[in-house]
Structure 1
Amino acid sequence: MGEFRTLYIDMNGFFASCEQHENPALRGKPVAITAVDTNSGACVACSYEAKAFGIKTGTPVWEAKKLCPQIVLLPSRHRLYVRYNLRIGAILDQMAELERIRSVDEFQIRLSGGATEQAGAYELVRAMKARVAQEIGPAIRFSAGVGPNHLLAKIAGKLEKPDGCQWLSPRNMPDRLAHLNLDDLPGISKGIKAKLFAARVWDIHALYSLDPRHARAIWRSVEGERFVRALQGEDIPLVSTERHGYGNGKVLSPENRAIPQAYLVGRWLVEKSTARMRRDGRVASRFTLTVNQIPNGTWSRTIKCEASQDTAYFLDLHRQLWIQFWRRVRARSAISISVHLGNVGWHGDGLDLVTDQHYA
């Protein structure tokens, strides 16, 4: 048995690639996918041709048009992307053990036999890329990462994009990641980064050298110990966790405190939250809007709704609550706002999902 246990597949510009495959006239052109068809929205995905202009996930539509006047903007069709996800997953599962579908554009594969050696793993990746190109189309590409566990394989999959393949193990760690910042690693949030800095852990080398028990103390959770052990190459199994909601909040800058501008910021927060929820394959059946306003304090309301992951549906609920807020409070400005999608469940768990025509 070789040193590698996990192969991580990360689809390249997946939503845009699906659209380019569906419409060959879009191939080679800058394409961005938007949550809603409006200039106040943001790009939820983009092709590598668009990324060359500096456009990325989260770029406002108006800014994308400014950066690339010829960009093609398309509404998100999530059901289409899920169908491609299932087709790709079926191909991968025929060639190796598909351990987990991590999101709509990421797959985790358990390696065995000759594929646990570097040469065998790379040969498997080449064969997988060839089959996806042949059975689906050349517009659908992916990068791959090989490692002794899911964390190192996932990080390796981000090192060479698009269409690359890299490996990580104790043989080339931590030097191979020395050019990265701490928060470039999956699982290192701003909060965890601040805790690491407070503990004088400034870079990848220092993080890699941590005693796992010290990491547990820094994180104030066993997850810190698990993270560092995985970074050091141990085969740490994933632990299922139950997430209760998705949300975003923002303290408003002075130019966005007037109610019309605050409302648009709220729409942006809804788009971010629903995009994260869809990536995780989840749905929500409760929506909450909270507004801290001047001078009337905090206003918050919750709507129970049908299970959905559709941006347009939650944007409509967001609008309904803003109307309630305005009629009741008549505030002139807001200090901060937050949105929360609650009572989450898994997509396809027998729920009657609310979907938009964009996803049909």
Structure 2
Amino acid sequence: MGVFRVLYIDMNSFFASVEQQLDPRLRGRPVAITAVDAHSGACVAASYEAKAYGVRTGTRVQDARRLCPHIIFLSSRHRLYVRFNLAVADVLDRHAELTHIRSVDEFQLALSGPARELDGAAELVARLKRAVASEVGACLRFSAGIGPNHLLAKIAGKHEKPNGFRWLSPDNLPGAIAHLALDDLPGISRAMKDRLYRAGVYDVETLCRLDPRHARLIWRSVEGERFVRLLQGMDIPLLPSLRGGFGNSKVLAPEFRAPRQAYRVGRWLVETATARLRREGFVATRFSLSIGFPEGGGWSRAMSCASSQDTALFLRLHRALWRVLWRAGPPATVAIVSVHLGNVGRLEERAGDLFAPLAPADRTRGEQVAVAVDHINHRFGPGAITYGITAPHPGFFERG
């Protein structure tokens, strides 16, 4: 039986490639997708023609224009990219076993039969490339990686771009990835790299040879042991993720950076996050607000509350935290606003309150009102009813 179990697919310059597929005039030309509009902010994607000039994800528009004077800027169209994501997923699933859509431009598939061997996997990848090109669009290319587990397949898939194919297994490790920096590996943040340095682990080759039990101590979690065992080629399945909270974050366009406007964007983020909280049947007992400043640095505070999914309650906490920020010294401008509903649990598991009175798993009056608002907004469109003045923010950068 072959060693390879997972195929990881990473679409190349996906957003820009979608735009080039839809508009033949853009093909072969440098294209950048911007977060908000074509005149400000940063690039969220760039075609390979633009990358040849040094334009990358995160490059500011003015810098991209300086690097490549003839570059074409397009505002992001996230719903369009999601439609293409689903079209690619449909093709992949008809030719192989699609197990995870990892992001808007990344997919994970299970290998079986002849594809568990290198030659069979290479044949499958070539077939998938042809199918995506013919059924979705010739401009849509991807890099593919195979491995005995999802981590090694992902590292391999990001190893050769564009349109590449690589494999990783115990047969070519750690040499095949020894040239990578520690934080080139998925899941190794700057903080984790610093922690590895303090433990005497300075390169990927040393990390690959680390005793997994030592890794558990460095990570201060079993995740460290899992990570190193995956690097060493063990087949450890993905664990089902537990919902830790509901959050939204926005990188603000220039016209939203005044504190008053940023506050209203925050209110809008609270409304969208609490609507998702209710839709998935959760309640939260902690609210966090984070503010990022254009010059760098930031501010963050959190407040605890009774278990709730009431939008009005979390808007009051949002207002209270802004008041704390204001007393500390009002900012001149705000670059990023983030809200987070944490310490979540299922509504049906919430205990009752004898003094309210509130039966277990029942909604409060405020929560019932919020559910009614959800129904109206679902029928008549987002924002048909809001909780006061908000500032819906256009653009791509939204998490949650």
Report the TM-score, using the length of structure 1 for normalisation. 0.76
* Distance 1:248-1:195 versus aligned 2 partners, 3 A rule: farther
For 1:9, give the aligned amino acid.
Answer: I
Cα contact 1:33–1:45 (8 A) shared by 2: yes
- Displacement of 1:357 in angstroms is 8.0
The aligned runs of 1:224-303 (5 Å cut-off) are: 224-241=224-241, 242-245=243-246, 288-290=289-291
User: Alpha-carbon deviations, 1:98-149, whole Å to 9, x = none?
Assistant: 0100001000000000000000000000000001111122100000001000
**2:176 aligned residue:** 176
Are 1:162 and 2:147 matched, yes or no? no
CA distance in 2, matches of 1:145, 1:2: 15
- Unpaired segments of 5 or more residues in structure 2? 270-275, 279-286, 304-309, 345-374, 383-391
Determine helix, strand or coil for the equivalent of 2:53.
coil
* Distance 1:225-1:358 versus aligned 2 partners, 3 A rule: closer
The aligned runs of 1:32-181 (5 Å cut-off) are: 32-37=32-37, 39-181=39-181
CA distance in 1, matches of 2:300, 2:84: 42
- Unpaired segments of 5 or more residues in structure 1? 251-258, 275-282, 307-316
Cα contact 2:30–2:48 (8 A) shared by 1: yes
For 1:155, give the aligned amino acid.
Answer: I
CA distance in 2, matches of 1:18, 1:113: 33
- Displacement of 1:336 in angstroms is 9.3
Determine helix, strand or coil for the equivalent of 1:100.
strand
**2:340 aligned residue:** 342
CA distance in 2, matches of 1:79, 1:249: 17
- Displacement of 1:245 in angstroms is 4.9
CA distance in 1, matches of 2:300, 2:184: 36
- Displacement of 1:290 in angstroms is 3.7
CA distance in 1, matches of 2:75, 2:257: 24
- Displacement of 1:173 in angstroms is 0.3
**Structure number with larger C-alpha Rg:** 2
- Displacement of 1:11 in angstroms is 0.2
Cα contact 1:249–1:336 (8 A) shared by 2: no
Task: Tell me which stretches of 4 or more aligned residues in structure 1 moved more than 4 Å.
Answer: 245-250, 259-264, 283-287, 297-302, 328-338, 350-359
* Distance 1:127-1:23 versus aligned 2 partners, 3 A rule: same
Q: How many residues align?
A: 313
Report the TM-score, using the length of structure 2 for normalisation. 0.68
CA distance in 1, matches of 2:333, 2:179: 38
Percent identical across equivalent pairs?
52
Cα contact 1:287–1:339 (8 A) shared by 2: no
Determine helix, strand or coil for the equivalent of 1:37.
coil
* Distance 1:343-1:15 versus aligned 2 partners, 3 A rule: farther
Cα contact 1:289–1:337 (8 A) shared by 2: no
Bigger drift between 228-237 and 29-38 goes to 29-38
